[in-house]
Structure formats: C-alpha cells, structure tokens
Chains A and B, each alone.
Chain A
Amino acid sequence: MKKGVVVYLHVHQPYRVRPYSVFDVGQSHDYFGSLENNADVNDEKILRKVADKSYRPMIGLLQTLLDKHEDFSVSLSITGDFIDQAERWTPDLLDGFRRLFATGRVELVAETYYHSLAFFFSRQEFEAQVNKHRERVQQLFGITPKAFRNTELAYNDEVAKWADEAGYGVVLAEGWDKVLGWRSPNYVYQPVDTKNIKLLLKNYKLSDDMAFRFGDSHWSEWPLTSDKYIDWIRASMGDGDIVNLFMDFETFGEHQWEDKGIFNFFEHFVAEWIGQGNTFYTVSDAAQGFEPADVISMPDTVTWADTERDLTAWLGNSMQNEAARHLYALENDVIRSGDQGLMNDWRYLQSSDHLYYMCTKWMNDGDIHSYFSPYSSPYDAFLYYMNAIRDVRWRVMQHHRLGGFDA
C-alpha cells in the first residue's frame, strides 16, 4: 500500500436558540432563530451565507479534484441538523453532496443525527439518533455508513466497544499526545477490548495548521505553501502509513477565507501530493488497508477541542451541567408523548453547540474571542436555552395533563 493522506471533513450547522424569554414560555414554541431579525441567530441567513462562502465552492472544488485525480478521495460526515436546514433553504447543497458520493470515492461517516452528546447521558437516545441518521442518509444518498465518529470526536473505550458491536469497521478520534505517549497518530490502531473495529487518530498538528493557523499572518510559518505543507507531512509521517487530516468542512471559505488562498492551497496540495506518487484514502480504505500497529486504550473521554481535549468546553461549568441535566431529565416524558414536533425540538436542543455557547473558560485567559458564539455572553446563551427547556417542560405537562408551570 502506498503512503496516503486521509482527509475527513465534518459538515454541520446547529439550530440556534433565539433570545427566547421567560415571557415566551408557554406562549410561543418557536425557539429557533430562523424568523429573527437578529442576524447572529438567524439560521436561514447563516446557512445561506456559509453556503456561498464555503459549501458551494468547496463542493465544487472536491468535485473538480475527484474528476481530475483518480487517486483523490475524501470522507465526510453530515449532521441531521444540517440536512434538515439544507433541505429547507439550500437543497442544491444536498444535490452537490449526492454527486460527490456518486463518484464512489467519497465516504460518508455515521454519527448522531442531532450533533449531540447523548452517548454520555442516555444510551437509548444515542442509539435512536444514530439509527435515525443512518436511515436518513440511506434514503437521501443511498449509502449505509461503515465508519463512525461521535459528536466533537468525543471518544473513549466505551464508544469504541459500542461501535464495534454495532458493526462499524472504523471509529475516529483525536490523536492526543497524553494518550499516545511515544506512539504516532500516523498508523491504524485497534481499540482495546474490541473484535473487528479499527481506530484512526487525527494528526492534530497538521490538521490545525490548515484549519486554524493557515490565515494567521502573525504565525511564524505564514504564509503556508503546499510545498512546505507536504514537507511537513513527509517529516511527520516518517515510517508511518497515513496522515489523518480531520477538520470542519467550513474550514474552507468560512473559518479560512477564500482571499487568504485556502481553496488554491488545497487544490495545489492535492495535485502535488498525488503528483509525487502518493495517494489519498477514505477512512474505511485506510482501516482495511493497514494492519493495526498497536492496541490503544482511552478510558477517559478525549475530544477534539481546546488544549485540554476533554469535555469541559461543553460540560465544564455549572450552567452547562445544569442545562444538560434538565434537558435529559425530560427524555422519558418527551418520548412518551409521541408528539413528533415536541420530540424534534427537544432533540434540536441536544446539539452540543448550545452547551458550547455557555462555555466560560475564556474568562480565565481573558481571550473573549477564542470561543465563537452568536450570543453576547455565555450567560445569555444559558438564559435563552433554559427558557426553551422550560417551554418543552410546559408542553410535556400539557400533553400529559400534569401540573402547571414550575422551575
């Protein structure tokens, strides 16, 4: 097998909670911001903007690269939140993805439909969401995923065991030094106590060079050229088999802007890497093509966020834990209602983005801008969210004809 680069891109847009006040509770059930004038929480406006800046040009570029280079392949995961929004406002994006999958060289990776952290709160709810996602992408793209990634790449030994038993051939995680120790992320691994499944680990240094540092003119390596980047990949790879570049799809055009040259960079990188006799693999191709170098255990949850690489960006403070507790406490009553609208709203509220907006970690380093949020503060994010939770509770009580309004 040739040495190869594995590119995996994650596609997602959340439903954002509008400034929803306690006076809206029990009055109106429209938590999500699509009707708001406030452009920061207007899901439709944001999707249309990102479609122009990122989705359409990147889908176009991937199509061009697939047409031009037989050796190019890529893996994608697309959340249900994104699919629902795109179906309503930008259906051409789904057609674009469908054409990419039709080439046979684009792999679709499974995940939770609602971009949730349900795995850590309710196994039953988690499985329902993974199943719903599988059915939806099967119906939409005619594909049954063989690879799995959990939301935010949140991974531990339990996730691997679950994915193994569910029949997936490979699962994705962060290649975090504290876990790897002397080992390199540039090999295929086997998760501990599993039978068939393989583990691919993100090469975070090289991924972040592209995803985070590319357009930063204060970076000592700026500007990043494809020549330099390929040199780094070779140096990092050493005797390894693969380099896993995992990042948000929106890296292209949204996080890194077109006028900084991100699309040109990627195009040249792909052409030169292949031109020098190398190749690209999808996540399943890589997992099947190489023998595991070692068995890896991650008892503690590792994610792809922050310097801590744990869940604290989503479940680090009291507000986040309180919000998640109240959210999942409603599970049985919401499911029992059989009310599809209510169930859907409750599940949109499970998106990890809501918890991320409540993160207060930046207060410690004073870097207000390091956490992106549509709200003016994490406290506002919490207030609006909790009011929405109260309304879900109100609807549950209406449905089951129980009690009245309470905290």
Chain B
Amino acid sequence: MKILMLGWELPPHNSGGLGVACYHMSKALAIAGASIDFVLPYSAKHPKADFMRIHSATKLSPDLKAHLGSYDSSYVFERNLEDAMNPNSLRGVQKKYVEFVEKMTSEIRPDVIHAHDWLTMEAGIRAKELTGAPLVVHVHATEYDRSGENYGNPIVHEIEQEALLMADRIIAVSQLTKDIIVQQYGIPAASVEVVHNAANLDDFGPYTYDMRNYKYLEALKYEGHTVVASLTRFTVQKGLTHFLRAAARACEKYDKFVFLLAGDGELRDELIEMSADLGISDKVFFTGFVRGKQWRDVYSLADVFVLSSVSEPFGLTALEAAHHDSALIISRQSGVGEVLHSSLKYDYWDVERLADQMVGIALSPGLASDLRNNVRNEYARLSWNDIADRCMRVYRHARSKVLV
C-alpha cells in the first residue's frame, strides 16, 4: 500500500498531540508493510522517522512554524489560497504546501491519500483531483472543538466541510468527534469510522523519576498533600477556569491539595489572576511550557490527572498520565474517556462534581489505587498496531469505493 500522508508536524517539532499521533500511526503502518510519503510544511531532521520518506514543502524552520500557531485558526481570513499574499502567514504556508503536493503528484502515484486535519485538507482534495486516488480524511479536531464554548472561524469550518464532503472515507478519533462530524457538518454516519488513538512512550527513551524537578511539590506530597495536575495548552478549549473553580470548591472541604497547571497559552494571566481571586493562589503552581523530563515528571508527580476540556476529540495526555500511574478524572466531553473506562467522569461545567471527585480520591487510598491500577491495564491494551490494521481496512474500503 503506497500512502501519500499529509501532516503538519512530527516530533520533536510538534506543539501538541497531532504530531505524536501521526508519528506512531505512520510507524505502525510502515511495520504493517505500507510505503509512506509524508509531507511536512517545514524543513527539519527527523532521525527517528526513517521508516518513511519525509518531504518538506518549504524551507521554513519548524520554529517559524511554531510562530504561525498551527492550532490557531482565528487568524485565517482568506477562503481561497490564491488570496494568501503573505508567504509567512499560515495561509501562505498552506498555499506553498498545496503547490508542493501538486508537484509531487507528477512523480508519485499513491494508492491512497491520508490527510490529517483542516491544515492539510485542501492539499488532500487537490491530490485526489490530480491522481484519482481515494482520499481519507483523518479528523483529530474540528473547528467546532478548537473554539471551545465560542463560535469558530467560519472559513475554517467551510474548508473542513468541503473536505469531509470530498473524502471517500473519514476517520474520527472518537465517537464524540464522529458525532460532531455528523451533527455539525451533516455527514452521513456511515461514512465515518471511529479509530481511537493509542500511546507509546517507549520512543522517548529510557526514563526514571528521580523527584528532582519538583522538589517543593514532592515535599508537600510527602506531608500528605494530594497533587492534582493538568498538562495542556491554556486555551478556552481546555476548560481550565472550571478546573480552578472546582479546585477552590474542593479546598473548602479538604485543604491538603496542591494543583499543578503545566503548560502555557493565551489564558495564562487570566488563570493566575483567577486563582488569586479564588483565594487558592498558594496552592496553584504554574510551570510554564514543559518539555522532556520536566514534562514527564509532571505525570509522575501527579496523584490525580484532570483532563478538563470543554471539547476534546481525543486527549492524548490522559493516556500519557495513565502510563505514569496517575488516577484520572476526565470530562465527558473528551473522547479518550471512550477507551479509559477506569476513570472518574464529569461534565466540564460541573464544578461541584469535579470538586467532589477530587476530594473523594484525596480521602480514599482504595479509590486512588483501584483507579490507577485498572486504568493502567486499559491503557496497556491499546496498540498502534491495531490502529494500523484499522487504517489499512479503511484504505481498502476507500479504494474499492473509488474503483467501482
């Protein structure tokens, strides 16, 4: 199976879960025998991705790409790529990406085109037009999710809409996402296949937790405090204001809590101010953006990991937390809850329920250990190889549809 894979990022140059998912999926597909041409919008070395051919659509560095804000769709103004005049804007890069893919299609004849999220969807449509190969659109997030409780960018919504209609087959990362595709984009449910992500931390190299990065928090933990952590981008989508209100509410009933907010984003100042307003600023710790060992240590330190998203198609961080033995609390609006049953669930707005759950875990070693042990087993059953098999089936299905 020759796959033209259209992605926007790969580790170590990723800003979120999309690149991680693309990397592991491609690797498992390559192991399953697929030949993959993977297109990126920037130029960089990916020494660990030698199982596929990586093509760079531009000479831009991955840093520049980071400044574009690959997740930030609110600055997209041009519906048509021809109107994108600034070559260093997001639309400008997307324009070059499409031109690059157009050129590629004169040399590469793929069996299937696999495009990830709206950033590469236009290129996917173009490749399908030029090669006649079936287009599989993989939805890791929609504009509907990214906008949190607000209305998203109508131009991005329209791009997604067009690609979903043009796709021969759609993969959604969760039932929640499938429901959005069906309800918000009017796509027939039969066209959408749900394929949940897995996690694989072995690729990040050997790791041991030495308690050195967060010494003060470890000391508090030693004195019996429960560490409740979240690791995410600080955007409206992630529901952290509700998380903070629940934290304050929980402290009314039990005061040996510390809350660790790891990450960064546009809402950071608001969250800091809010924790002061709520009177819990001494209990809330902001780490800023974390990478590498600092990043993994957050999971190791956490007794409880909260995924508080308002709308989360999947939620890879929950799998990573499960790998590191945290007990999980997951909003019902997060797709990862569909595969991690051994977790507490709440509606993202239900501050009382979340507070109750935090207190419940803090007061009960039995609950904490059952949650941890059972979720670790569930996590261990998820496999990228199974996901690759599912993708292969989707490809065959899409091909039979096109050939008939």
Interchain CB contact under 8 A, A363 and B367: no
Task: Identify which of residues 353-379 in chain B touch chain A, using a CB-to-CB cut-off of 8 Å.
Answer: 353, 355-357, 359-360, 363-367, 369-371, 374, 377-378
B342 within 8 A of A: yes
- The interface residues of chain A lying within 8 Å CB-to-CB of B371 are 379
Residue in contact with B342 in the complex, picked from A23, A363, A382, CB distance below 8 Å? A363
Do A386 and B253 touch across chains, with their CB atoms under 8 A apart? no
A186 to B324, CA, bound (A): 52
B377 — which chain A residues lie within 8 A by C-beta?
363-364
Contact of A376 among B253, B345, B355, B366 (CB under 8 A): B345
A368-B341, A376-B345 known; A21+B366 contact, CB < 8 A: no
CA distance A253 to B263 in the complex (A): 55
Please tell me if the beta carbons of A383 and B356 are within 8 angstroms of each other in the complex. Answer: yes
Residues of B within 8 Å of A321, CB to CB, are: 366
Contact of A22 among B342, B359, B365, B370 (CB under 8 A): B359
Chain A contacts with B in 205-251, Cβ cutoff 8 A? none
Is B366 within 8 A of A319, CB to CB? yes
Closest to B362 in A: A407
5 other contacts beyond A319-B370, A377-B341, with CB at 8 A cut-off? A21-B352, A23-B355, A319-B364, A322-B365, A407-B254
Query: A318 near B: Cβ within 8 Å?
Result: yes
Instruction: Name the one of B344, B359, B363, B369 contacting A377, with C-beta atoms under 8 angstroms.
Output: B344
Determine if A317 is an interface residue (Cβ-Cβ < 8 Å): yes
Nearest residue, chain A, Cβ from B250: A22
A23 and B374 in contact (CB under 8 A), knowing A319-B366, A376-B345, A386-B364?
no
Give bound CA distance, A22 to B357, whole Å: 9
**Mask: chain A, 362-375; 1 = CB below 8 Å from B; 0 = not:** 01100010000000
User: Mind listing 13 A-B residue pairs with CB under 8 Å?
Assistant: A22-B356, A23-B253, A23-B352, A322-B364, A363-B341, A364-B377, A377-B345, A379-B367, A380-B344, A383-B344, A383-B357, A383-B367, A387-B356
Contact B366 A322 (CB under 8 A): yes
B332 to A: closest C-beta gap in Å: 9
Closest CB in chain B relative to A72 CB, distance in Å: 45
Listed from nearest, the 9 A-B pairs whose CB atoms lie closest are A322-B366, A318-B366, A21-B356, A383-B360, A407-B363, A319-B366, A22-B359, A363-B374, A22-B356
* Residue numbers in A under 8 Å from B366 (CB-CB): 317-323, 382
Give the CA-CA distance A22 to B352 in the complex, in Å: 9
What residue of chain B has the Cβ atom nearest to residue A407's Cβ? Answer: B363
Q: State in angstroms the CA–CA spacing of A376 and B353 once bound together.
A: 13
B333 at the interface (CB under 8 A from A): no
State whether the Cβ of B343 lies closer than 8 Å to any Cβ in chain A: yes
Chain B residues positioned under 8 Å from A319 (CB to CB): 364, 366-367, 370
Tell me if A360 and B344 are in contact (CB < 8 A): no
Residues 318-336 of A, flagged 1 when their CB comes within 8 A of B and 0 if not, give: 1111110000000000000
Which residues of the other chain, B, contact A21 by a CB distance below 8 angstroms?
Answer: 352-353, 356
Q: How many A-B residue pairs have CB under 8 A?
A: 73
Please report the C-alpha to C-alpha distance between residue A22 and residue B253 in the assembled complex, in whole angstroms.
8
Contact of A387 among B254, B360, B378 (CB under 8 A): B360
Interface bits A20-64 vs B (CB < 8 Å: 1, else 0): 011101000000000000000000000000000000000000000
Bound Cα distance from A388 to B355, whole angstroms: 16
Q: Which residues of B are found within 8 Å of A23, using beta-carbon distances?
A: 249, 253, 352, 355-356
Task: State the Cβ distance, B370 to closest chain A Cβ, in Å.
Answer: 5
Chain A positions within 8 Å of B, measured between CB atoms, are 21-23, 25, 317-323, 360, 363-364, 368, 376-377, 379-380, 382-383, 386-387, 407
Asked whether A379 and B352 contact (CB < 8 A) given A364-B377, A407-B363, the answer is no
A182 to B344, CA, bound (A): 46
Given A319-B366, A322-B365, A379-B343, are A22 and B360 neighbors across the interface (CB < 8 Å)?
A: yes
Q: How far is the CA of A364 from the CA of B345 in the complex (A)?
A: 20
Contacts of A383 in B (CB 8 A): 344, 356-357, 360, 367
Contact A386 B341 (CB under 8 A): no
Q: State in angstroms the CA–CA spacing of A23 and B370 once bound together.
A: 24
A318 to B344 Cα, complex, angstroms: 16
Task: Please indicate the chain B residues that have their CB under 8 angstroms from the CB of A318 in the complex.
Answer: 365-367, 369-370
Q: How far is the CA of A23 from the CA of B356 in the complex (A)?
A: 7
Partner of A360, one of B342, B352, B356: B342
Distance in angstroms from A57 CB to nearest chain B CB is 36
Q: Which residue on A lies nearest to B377, using beta carbons? A: A363
- Closest chain-B Cβ to A28's Cβ sits at a distance in Å of 14
Per the 8 Å Cβ criterion, residues 313-359 of B in contact with A are 341-345, 352-353, 355-357, 359
Identity of the chain B residue whose Cβ is nearest the Cβ of A323 in the assembled complex: B366
* Interfacial chain A residues near B249, Cβ < 8 Å: 23
Q: Which of B360, B370, B378 contacts A386 (CB 8 A)?
A: B360
Is B364 a contact partner of A382 (Cβ separation < 8 A)? yes
- Distance (whole angstroms) from the CB of A407 to the closest CB of chain B: 4
Residues of B near A323 (CB, < 8 A) are 366
Bound form: Cα–Cα A23–B360 in Å? 11
A21 CA to B357 CA, complexed, in Å: 9
Task: Evaluate contact between B367 and A382: CB separation under 8 angstroms.
Answer: yes
Q: Kindly report which residue of chain B lies nearest to residue A19, judged by CB atoms.
A: B353
Q: Which residues of A contact B341 (CB under 8 A)?
A: 363, 368, 377
CA distance A146 to B271 in the complex (A): 68
A323–B366 CA distance with the chains assembled, in angstroms = 9
Which residues of the partner chain B approach A360 to less than 8 Å between Cβ atoms?
Answer: 342, 370, 374
Q: What residues of chain A lie closer than 8 Å to B360, measured between beta carbons?
A: 22, 382-383, 386-387
Residues from chain A with a CB closer than 8 A to the CB of B374 are: 360, 363
In the complex the two chains form, what is the Cα distance from A318 to B365 in whole Å? 8
- By a CB distance below 8 angstroms, the chain A residues around B367 are 318-319, 322, 379, 382-383, 386
| CA of A368 to CA of B341, assembled, Å | 9
The interface centre, meaning the residue of B344, B353, B357, B364 with most chain A CB atoms within 10 A of its CB, is B364
Report the Cα distance A228→B253, complex, angstroms: 61
Closest to B374 in A: A363
Residues of B within 8 A of A22 (CB): 253, 355-356, 359-360
In the complex, what residues of A have CB within 8 A of residue B342's CB?
A: 360, 363, 377, 379
With A and B bound together, what is the CA distance between A292 and B254 in angstroms?
59
A386-B344 contact, Cβ under 8 Å, with A23-B352, A363-B374, A363-B377: no
**A25 vs B343: C-alpha distance in the bound complex, in angstroms?**
23
Find chain A residues with CB under 8 A from B363 CB: 386, 407
CB neighbours of A363 from chain B (8 A): 341-342, 374, 377-378
Chain B stretch 285-302: residues in CB contact (< 8 A) with chain A: none
Measured CB to CB, the nearest residue on chain B to A321 is: B366
CA distance A379 to B370 in the complex (A): 9
Chain A residues with CB under 8 A of B364 = 319, 322, 382, 386
CA distance A407 to B403 in the complex (A): 66
CB distance from B363 to the nearest CB of A (A): 4
Minimum C-beta distance from B386 to chain A (A): 14
Q: When chains A and B are docked, how far (Å) is the Cα of A317 from the Cα of B365? A: 12
Q: How far, in angstroms, from A320 to B254 measured CA to CA in the complex?
A: 23
With A and B bound together, what is the CA distance between A321 and B370 in angstroms? 11
CA distance A383 to B356 in the complex (A): 8
CB of B370 within 8 A of CB of A317, answer yes
